[in-house]
Amino acid sequence: MIEANPNRYVIRVFVHYIGHILKKNFHTIHLDTEYETPLSGSAVLIGNHVGWWDGFYAFYLNTQYFKKNFYIMMLEEELRKHRIFHKVGAFSIKKGTRSMLKSLNYAKNLLTKNNNLLVFFPQGKLHSLYCTDIRFEKGITRIIDKKRSDSVFFFASFVDFLDNKKPTLFLAVRNATQYKTTPETTYEEAYQKFYAAFLHQQQNLIQ
């Protein structure tokens, strides 16, 4: 397992770099949230996994909204290709190995510390942007099973060109409590409700 080793200098560079490439590649960014200020304490951010940009979207959401210590779970083979990311808060998970449990426990421990943001993509692999059935990999939500749902956030990313040469990026963020309405509701079921609502909103977008 590769642990995160955040470096303030590298993080500052990434703040400028990610801001630059988002501005360069997207016409504009629409951020849809319902909270003016983030909650105190640690938090979890769960997103749909559609492409190369996803981790950058999450980093951007942290700099613009959560403003916490950023940590993100990555597949070990990908993190080994891009070791610099562990200086920004990335740590690895290797599915189907003994070290997977170590990674899950490491993630849980991050949430015991104040002001951390843990990001992960529970689908476990990339899916088409047009996927409507979001399924979580077995066992991944052990990280948050005992976490209060008001400190768990969902985000979804959508891209549309509309009348511009460059695409517009839409990022929606909501607290899990809006969708995890009963103790029996799983985080997977709650995320599906969240994603379906914003996908419907996006499908009805007219300009």
pLDDT at res. 143:
86
Q: Is residue 184 part of a domain?
A: yes
Q: Residue range 188-205: average pLDDT?
A: 92
Total domains, the chain: 1
Closest CA to 33 of 74, 62, 69, 3: 62
Res. 63: pLDDT tops 80: yes
What totals of helices (H) and strands (E) does the chain contain, helices first? Answer: 5, 7
> Would you say residue 143 lies in a domain?
yes
Of the chain, the percentage scoring pLDDT greater than 70 comes to 96
Q: What is the predicted pLDDT for the residue at 193?
A: 96
Maximum separation of any 2 CA atoms in the chain, in Å: 51
| Residues 124, 75: Cα–Cα separation, whole Å | 8
Place of tokens 């403003």: 67
**Is residue 137 one of the residues assigned to a domain?**
yes
Average pLDDT, the chain: 91
Give the mean model confidence (pLDDT) for residues 62-79.
95
In a domain, 125, yes or no: yes
- Which pLDDT score is estimated for 38? 61
Query: For residue 173, what is the enclosing H or E element?
Result: strand 168-175
Task: Assess whether pLDDT exceeds 90 at residue 70.
Answer: yes
pLDDT digits (tens, 9 = 90+) for 84-136: 999 999 999 998 788 889 999 999 999 999 899 999 999 887 777 778 888 88
Q: Is residue 70 part of a domain?
A: yes
Q: Is residue 2 part of a domain?
A: no
CA distance 37 to 40: 9
Please indicate, yes or no, if residue 131 is contained in any of the structural domains: yes
**For position 148, which CATH number holds?**
3.40.1130.10
* In the predicted structure, residue 207 carries a pLDDT above the cut 70: no
Query: Mean pLDDT across the stretch 44-69?
Result: 94
pTM recorded for the entire structure: 0.93
The predicted pLDDT at position 206 comes to 66
Contacts of 82 (CB under 8 A, 6+ apart): none
> For residue 66, what pLDDT is reported?
93
Q: Does residue 56 lie in a domain region? A: yes
Tokens of 78: 């990908």
Section 184-205 average pLDDT? 92
**Residue found under tokens 């980093």:** 59
Whole-number Å distance between alpha carbons of 41 and 54: 24
Structural domain boundaries, residue 78: 8-203
* Of residues 141 and 119, more confidently modeled: 119
